Amino acid sequence: MKRTATLTLTAALLASTAMAEGEVTIASWGGSYQDAQSKALFEPAAEATGIEVKQETYGGMSDVRLQVSTGQVTLDIVASGSGSAARAGAEGLLEELDYDVIDVSNFYPTLKSTYCVGGDVFSTVYAWNTDTYGEDGPQSWADFWDVENFPGSRAYRGSVAGALEPALMADGVPMEEVYEVLSSEEGIERAIDKIRELKPNIEVFWSSGAQHAQLMKDGEVDMTTGWNGRFDNAAKDGAKVAYSFNQALLDYDCFAIPKGAPNKGTAMAFLAEISKPEYQDDLPKYITYGPTNKAAYETGEISAETAATLPSSPENAALQLPISLDWYAEWETVAAEMYQEMLTE
Amino acid sequence: MQANSDTAPPGTAAPERLNEAGLRRDGRLERLALFGLASPAMLLILVILVIPVGWLFYVSFLGADGSFSLENYERMISRKSYARIFVTTFQVSLLTTGICILIGYPLAYFMSQLPDRLANIALITVLLPFWTSLLVRTYAWLVLLQRQGLVNDWGISLGLWEEPLKLVHNMTGTLIGMVHIMLPFLILPVYGSMKAINRDLMKAASNLGAHPRRAFWDVFFPLTMPGLSAGALMVFILCLGFFVTPAVLGGGKVIMVSMQIVRNIELFVNWGAASALGVVLLVLTMAILWIASRFLKLENLAGGGHG
């Protein structure tokens, strides 16, 4: 699945403002997500800088681990979830980012780390079929669990990331105490027990964003958890799906440079370019993920209506629980094993 | 021998013995030559099978910090999910093999009775699915079997059932998909062994007064056993390593060892945790083959229809 977007070298030659030249290979998650990144970030930035961009899809940090451990690094930039990037960075798989080159002065302070610079903000939400429940579907995680008032089949995430927090909220834990409760094996077990309770109604444990979007498009399940941008794009394609930001999980994706990347310097310059507000403000046109650079809201490209639909808009952000990277660094492995016990029962 | 004694010098006391030495030398040379021809394949097996499997064993005893440790195996004992994943893996493989036999054997029998031209067409039809990628076939089943898929739509509109049947995202869907993919692997060797059977044997059985049913079970069926056990074993072993089909059609609830290997690589940042699963699967599979060899003549497997 190699997709190569060869970008006009001629344009680069003509552009007198070209700051750097060279090439970078970028790997991301494919689907409507990578299309959006490509149109809003990679292609315009390639044109402006003269850097030639090759795009690939990849399977996540395990691919980077394989490349780094065998010394065969081919990727210069990878798009990653914030949590897995934090773990990979701690493991020594990523280059430290040079924030003298990448200007993050207007970034939300929580949306960057030593090894990974935020690219977009997204939410893990509950979505429902509007044919089954109408526009006013479930309004909380408790409703998601309520099979009496909202009968119908569910889909839920097949891995532990973003799966336990909703269960605790459904069990009555206030949003601000979720990570406190989860910071012990008993707390994790409590969340998993809550999922066990719903399990007879869970038809599918999904494993990718493309999958949960497809499940809703096909009407295979009536309700699912998932990433908000995928549902908006599915709805654009005619899927009967709506979602709410209430009690959703606020998370971000970021860009990192694998250790020993062949074009590390060029990659750094390219990250600096795509972190600028003039690129980030285009992303919401293609997928409803918010910018990580606050200045992107001030360029006038993002209308007030669009801003209101983004996960990171102040009103929406206030409704949500920001993901705790610290919790994932400390507990994810343990929680994943316990989650698997529940899955295989 | 006849030809040899013609060329032997006349008047020699024991021409056979003289030839014997020459024949033995020729035999040795021929064996060497054959060994020489086989050596690239053996070297290849050494490089792509023996060395990696050895490495797999070694890595499975390395802990997260890279030192010698049994933690990867201890985890499989302390966490019940691993045992359940192995049970699921063998259950899915056995069921798939069983269903393939039930469907494939009669089909192969039917094909073996057809006139040659029709049999060839039937054979091509059996092989046709191989021309499509496994992923495409798996997704095709998803489209057919899902809640608002073709099968449920038709079944409901024809009044065969009222509520959509749960045909996919579970064990049922996984088995349907896997049987479809595995069927040719069973049919081909069974068909081969059926074609090799001398038809006169059946006539002889009838001639001796055997009812057709008895002739089938006492004469025909035993002669197809080598093909059947070869096919069944191939299906079973291929099933053990399946990944795509259960991942797509199992709805995240049918978790087989290969899927867990991927999860472990993603989860425990070291190869050991995944390697240990591979080692246990390999050992269990060999144990099952050893037990099977007590009941089936596995050495006949390579012989196809000549058993």
Confidence of residue B304 (pLDDT cuts 50, 70, 90): very low
Residue contact A204–B247, C-beta within 8 A: no
Overall domain count for chain B: 2
Q: Give the per-residue pLDDT at B15.
A: 59
Distance between CA atoms of residues B181 and A289, nearest Å: 40
Which among B60, B92, B109 is the end of a domain?
B60
Q: Are B4 and B26 in contact (CB under 8 A)?
A: no
Domains A2-121+252-315 and A122-251+321-344 share a fold: yes
A64's CB contacts (< 8 A; 6+ apart) are: A58, A75, A78, A88, A93, A94, A258
Q: What is the DSSP string of B224-276?
A: HHHHHHHHHHHHHHHHHT--HHHHHHSTTTS--HHHHHHHHHHHSSSHHHHHH
What is the predicted pLDDT for the residue at B196? 92
Q: Which CATH superfamily is domain A122-251+321-344 in?
A: Periplasmic binding protein-like II (3.40.190.10)
CA distance A262 to A267: 9
Residues B169 and B22 in one domain: no
Q: Do B120 and B17 fall into the same domain?
A: no
Q: Token pair of B136, please?
A: 């495409």
Mean pLDDT, rounded, of chain A: 90
Mind listing the pLDDT tens digit for each residue in B32-90?
A: 999 899 999 999 999 998 999 999 999 999 887 778 889 999 989 989 999 999 999 99
Q: Does B269 touch chain A (CB under 8 A)?
A: yes
CA distances to A233, A311, B250, B260, B295 from B81, rounded to whole Å, are 36, 36, 17, 10, 31
Contact B163, B148 (CB under 8 A): no
Q: Is B108 helix (H, G, I), strand (E, B) or coil?
A: helix
Out of B13, B30, B60, a domain closes at B60
Pairing of strands A321-322, A202-206: unpaired
Which of A156, A201, A203, A221 would best serve as a mutation to test chain B binding (most B beta carbons within 10 A)? A203
- Residue closest to A251 by CA, chosen among A220, A275, A227: A227
Least Cα distance to A162 among A100, A89, A70, A224 occurs for A224
Contact B97, B239 (CB under 8 A): yes
Contacts of A65 in chain B (CB under 8 A): 265, 269
Reply yes or no on whether the pLDDT at B1 is more than 80: no
pLDDT in tens, B204-249: 999 999 999 999 999 999 999 989 999 999 999 999 999 999 999 9
Nearest CB partner across the interface for B252, out of A207, A337, A341: A207
The verdict on a CB contact (< 8 Å) between B268 and A91 is: no
**Chain centroid to CA A69: how far?**
26
Q: What pLDDT sits at residue B98?
A: 97
Domain end among B36, B60, B84: B60
B251·A205 Cβ contact <8 A: yes
d(CA B137, CA A182): 42
pLDDT value for B16? 62
Percentage above 70 pLDDT, chain A: 94
Together in a domain, B56 and B73: no
Query: In which band, very low, low, confident or very high, does the pLDDT at B14 lie, cut at 50, 70 and 90?
Result: low
Question: In the predicted model, what is the mean pLDDT of residues B168-188?
Answer: 95
Residue A70: count other Cβ atoms within 10 Å of its Cβ: 8
- Residue B237 structure tokens: 């072993």
pLDDT in tens, A140-167: 999 999 999 999 999 999 999 999 999 9
Homologous superfamily in CATH for domain A2-121+252-315:
Periplasmic binding protein-like II (3.40.190.10)
Q: Which residue has the higher pLDDT, B21 or B97?
A: B97
Beta-carbon separation of B251 and A336 below 8 A: no
Residue A204 has its nearest CB partner, among B148, B252, B268, at B252
Give yes or no for B54 touching A (CB within 8 A). no
Query: A62: nearest CA in chain B?
Result: B266
Same domain membership, residue B295 and residue B174: yes
Domain range for residue B37? 1-60
Residue A303 is encoded by which pair of tokens?
């209308």
Please determine, for residue A20, whether its predicted confidence score (pLDDT) is greater than 60. no
Residues B18 and B77 occupy one common structural domain: no
Asked whether the ipTM of the predicted complex exceeds the cut of 0.95, the reply is no
User: Which amino acid, B245?
Assistant: T
Q: In which band, very low, low, confident or very high, does the pLDDT at B5 lie, cut at 50, 70 and 90? A: very low
Q: Which residue has the higher pLDDT, B271 or A290?
A: A290
Region A264-275: mean pLDDT is 95
What is the predicted pLDDT for the residue at A60? 86
At A225-256, the pLDDT tens digits run 999 999 999 999 999 999 999 999 999 999 99
User: Residues B39, B115: one domain?
Assistant: no
pLDDT at residue number A86: 87
pLDDT at B289: 85
Can you state the percent helix, strand and coil of chain A, rounding each to 5?
45, 20, 35
Determine which helix (DSSP H) or strand (DSSP E) holds A257, and give its type and residue range. none
> pTM to 2 decimals?
0.83
Contact A62 B253 (CB under 8 A): no
Chain B nearest CA to A217, separation (Å):
11
| β-bridge pairing A154-157 and A51-57 | unpaired
B300 pLDDT tier (thresholds 50, 70, 90): low
Amino acid at B1: M
pLDDT tens-place string over residues A59-95:
888 889 889 988 999 999 999 999 889 888 988 999 9
* Residues B110, B48 share a domain: no
Domain co-membership, B134 together with B187: yes
Q: What is the pLDDT of residues B241-299, one digit of tens each?
A: 999 999 999 999 999 999 999 888 877 767 888 999 999 999 999 998 888 888 766 55
Residues of B in contact with A204 (CB under 8 A): 169, 251-252
Task: Say if residues B184 and B190 touch (Cβ distance below 8 Å).
Answer: no
**Out of A220, A333, A341, closest to residue B81 by CB:** A341
Q: Return the pLDDT at B299.
A: 54
Min CA distance, B262 vs chain A (Å)?
A: 9
Q: Are residues A159 and B263, on separate chains, in Cβ contact within 8 Å?
A: yes
Task: Report the DSSP pairing between strands A202-206 and A223-227.
Answer: unpaired
- Which residue from B84, B146, B263 is facing A218, i.e. has the nearest CB? B146
**Element holding A172 (H helix, E strand):** none
Listed in sequence order, the residues at least 6 apart from A331 whose beta carbon sits closer than 8 Å to its beta carbon are A182, A183, A188
Closest CA–CA distance from residue B81 to any residue of chain A (Å): 5
B50 and B144 belong to one structural domain: no
Return the higher-pLDDT residue of A45 and A4. Answer: A45
Average pLDDT over residues A194-203: 96
Contacts of B88 in chain A (CB under 8 A): 344
Minimum-distance CB partner of B252 among A206, A219, A341: A206
What are the residues of chain A with a beta carbon less than 8 Å away from any beta carbon of chain B?
60-62, 65, 87, 91, 153, 158-159, 203-207, 218-220, 332-333, 336-337, 340-341, 343-345
| Chain-chain contact of A203 with B247 (C-beta, under 8 angstroms) | no
Predicted pLDDT at A325: 87
Percent of chain A, pLDDT > 90?
A: 73
Mark whether B102 and B158 lie in a shared domain. Answer: yes
C-alpha torsion sign, points B172, B173, B178, B181? positive
Q: What is the residue extent of each domain of chain A?
A: 2-121+252-315, 122-251+321-344
Residue with tokens 């990331």: A161
Query: Quick one: how far is CA B138 from the chain centroid?
Result: 19
Is B212 in the A-facing interface, judged by CB distances under 8 Å? no
Does residue B84 share a domain with residue B50?
no
For residue B289, what is the domain's CATH number? 1.10.3720.10
Distance, CA of A14 to CA of A326 (rounded, Å): 47
pLDDT at position A69: 86
Which residues, in sequence order, are bridge partners of residue A249? A124, A321
pLDDT digits (tens, 9 = 90+) for A91-131: 899 999 999 999 999 998 888 889 999 999 999 999 999 99
User: Which chain A residue is nearest to residue B254, measuring alpha carbons?
Assistant: A344
Look at chain B and count its residues: 307
